């Protein structure tokens, strides 16, 4: 018995030495990043810029090193293999959302409009980085928002295409039946779609859930951090991402229609609703885990995507 115990103790000690088994660090150095979403019918502007940056250690979250201000950025536009034009982007300063910090982004000073079905090839050279960051996207076919698909024309009700102090309202129980999200497209086609519902209200424990669950009508204070999270999907920002096929409606036009989505309005209040057809780069960027590896960026990470659609606003009421 003693021998047995004497044998067992060193074995245990040996095994104990193997505790806390973990992998080494994954990102040993900063990654150069490209973030751009070209929107059909608009130009690359301060509202919708190209961001060239690099990742920083998580402890340096507010570091200005995250943005690169001296990159050379050029875009080549082509259509059906024929090159149309090449244009350069210039640095421009904008504030970080919800912050007073300014960051450098890149915009098109000549306002080239992004065209549906055109291919855009971007090349970025960064001083001190030997590789050229390359990416390209083909903009989806034109998709047009239809804020009032059922042609109800009820004053003060429905969606508005602009954000204002007096938004039209939609009763929560009429969302699906009366105001489906609709994108008019050209003919029958299979497309990647992204619908996003973003609550514009500030967080408060007075916010009211549209559907009570386990007796809860209002969010607890502890939900505030989840609400304001600036990473990933949150209870404030709900996405529907799917491959969909357009269908012909009674008016002879083809639509992408989402008519059961009210569960995405978690709270009553004002919402920004975006409906877009998106390219494969942006689709995989949003869809896959580690999406930044699948966003079409070579010699860097991030996403160079494009979309066609639009944004609407409404207020969800009881």
Partner 1 sequence: MITKIGFSFLFSCLVSIGTAATISGFVTHKESSEPMEYVNVQVTEIQAGTQSNKKGYYVITIPKEGTYTLRASMISYTTLTHTFEIKSTDENIQYNIPLDKAAVEMAKTVVTAKAEEDEVNSPTIHVGTIRQTTEDIQNTVSVAEADVFRSVMTLPGVTPISDFSSGLYIRGGSPDQNLILLDDIDVYNPNHFGGIFSTFNADAVDKVELLKGGYPAKYGGRLSSVLDVTNRQGNRNFSQGVARLSLISSNATLEGPWNLGDEKGSYMCSFRRTYVDLIKNIFDLPDYYFYDGHIKLNWDISNTDKVSTSMYTGKDNLDMDVGANIHLDWGNTTATSQWMHIFSPTLFSQFILAGSQFKSHFIQSSENGEDFKRLNGIDDITLKNISNWKVNNDHQVDFGFDAKWNRTYLIGSSAYQYDPNSMPDVTVKALTTSMFIQDAWALDQNWTFQPGLRFSWYKTLSISLKSPPGASYVNLEPRLSLRRKLGESANVYASYGRYHQYLTLLSEGESTPFDVWMPLDGTLKPGISNHYIVGFRKELSIYFGMDLEMYYKNYLNLLEYNPATDYTWNNETGTLKDTFYTGKGHTIGTDFMLRNEWNGLKGFISYTFSRTQRKMDGMNINPQTHASEYFYPKYDRTHSINLVENFNISENTGWQLWGADFKVGMNFVYATGQPSNKPEQVYFDGQQYQILYSYQDRTRLPAYSRVDISTKYEWQKKWGSIEPYIEAINILNHKNVSYRSYYIIPDDNGGYKLKSSDSTQFPFLPFIGINITW
Tell me which residues in 239-258 interact with partner 1 (CB under 8 A): 242-247, 256-258
Per DSSP bridges, beta strands 301-317 and 169-171 are parallel
Structure tokens at 118: 């055109």
**Contacts to partner 1 from residues 146-175, by CB under 8 A:** 173
Q: Which of 38, 40, 67, 313 binds partner 1 (CB under 8 A)?
A: 67
CB of 211 to partner 1, least distance (A): 5
Residue 6 makes contact with partner 1 by CB under 8 A: no
**What count of Cα atoms within 13 Å lies in the side-chain half-sphere of residue 57?**
5
d(CA 152, CA 214): 36
**What count of Cα atoms within 13 Å lies in the side-chain half-sphere of residue 169?**
9
Q: Which residues have CB under 8 Å from 252's CB, separation 6+?
A: none
Residue 263 makes contact with partner 1 by CB under 8 A: yes
Q: 3-class SS at 283? A: helix
**Contacts to partner 1 from residues 9-48, by CB under 8 A:** 11-12, 15-16, 18-28, 30-31, 33, 35-37
**Contacts to partner 1 from residues 176-235, by CB under 8 A:** 176-177, 190, 210-215, 225-226, 228-232, 234
Residue 114 makes contact with partner 1 by CB under 8 A: no
Q: Which residues have CB under 8 Å from 54's CB, separation 6+?
A: 30, 31, 32, 33, 65, 66, 68
d(CA 235, CA 199): 9
Applying CB under 8 A, the site for partner 1 has a residue count of 86
Residue 66 or 134: the one with the smaller Cβ distance to partner 1 is: 66
Residue 130 makes contact with partner 1 by CB under 8 A: no
- Residue in the structure block whose two tokens are 């409906």: 275
Neighbours of 6 (CB within 10 A): 9
Give the range of 1-9, 112-120, 134-142, 153-161 binding partner 1 by CB under 8 A.
Answer: 1-9
Residue 264 makes contact with partner 1 by CB under 8 A: yes
Per DSSP bridges, beta strands 82-95 and 102-107 are antiparallel
CB of 217 to partner 1, least distance (A): 10
Give the range of 57-65, 80-88, 114-122, 142-150 binding partner 1 by CB under 8 A.
Answer: 57-65
Residue 82 makes contact with partner 1 by CB under 8 A: no
Structure tokens at 40: 């059909």
Residue 302 makes contact with partner 1 by CB under 8 A: yes
Residue 105 or 167: the one with the smaller Cβ distance to partner 1 is: 105
């Amino acid at each position: 018995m003693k021998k047995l115990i004497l044998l067992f103790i060193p074995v245990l000690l040996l095994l104990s030495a193997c505790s806390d088994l973990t992998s080494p660090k994954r990102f040993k150095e900063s990654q150069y990043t490209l973030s751009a979403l070209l929107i059909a019918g608009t130009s690359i502007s301060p509202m919708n810029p190209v961001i060239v940056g690099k990742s920083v250690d998580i402890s340096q979250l507010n570091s200005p090193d995250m943005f690169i201000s001296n990159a050379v950025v050029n875009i080549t536009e082509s259509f059906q293999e024929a090159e149309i034009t090449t244009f350069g982007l210039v640095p421009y300063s904008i504030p970080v959302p919800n912050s007073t910090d300014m960051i450098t982004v890149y915009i098109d000073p000549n306002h080239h409009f992004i065209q549906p079905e055109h291919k855009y090839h971007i090349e970025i050279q960064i001083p001190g980085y030997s590789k050229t960051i390359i990416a390209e996207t083909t903009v989806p076919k034109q998709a047009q928002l239809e804020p009032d698909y059922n042609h109800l024309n009820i004053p003060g009700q429905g969606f508005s295409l602009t954000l204002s102090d007096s938004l039209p309202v939609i009763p929560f129980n009429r969302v699906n039946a009366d105001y489906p999200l609709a994108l008019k497209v050209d003919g029958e086609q299979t497309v990647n779609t992204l619908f996003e519902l973003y609550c514009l209200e500030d967080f408060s424990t007075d916010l009211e859930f549209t559907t009570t669950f386990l007796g809860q009508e209002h969010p607890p204070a502890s939900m505030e951090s989840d609400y304001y999270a600036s990473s990933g999907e949150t209870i404030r920002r709900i996405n529907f991402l799917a491959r969909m096929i357009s269908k012909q409606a009674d008016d002879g036009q083809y639509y992408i229609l989402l008519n059961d989505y009210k569960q995405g309005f978690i709270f009553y209040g004002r919402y920004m609703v975006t409906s877009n057809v998106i390219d494969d780069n942006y689709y995989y960027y949003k869809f896959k885990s580690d999406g930044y590896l699948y966003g079409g960026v070579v010699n860097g990470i991030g996403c160079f995507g494009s979309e066609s659609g639009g944004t609407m606003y409404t207020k969800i009421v009881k």
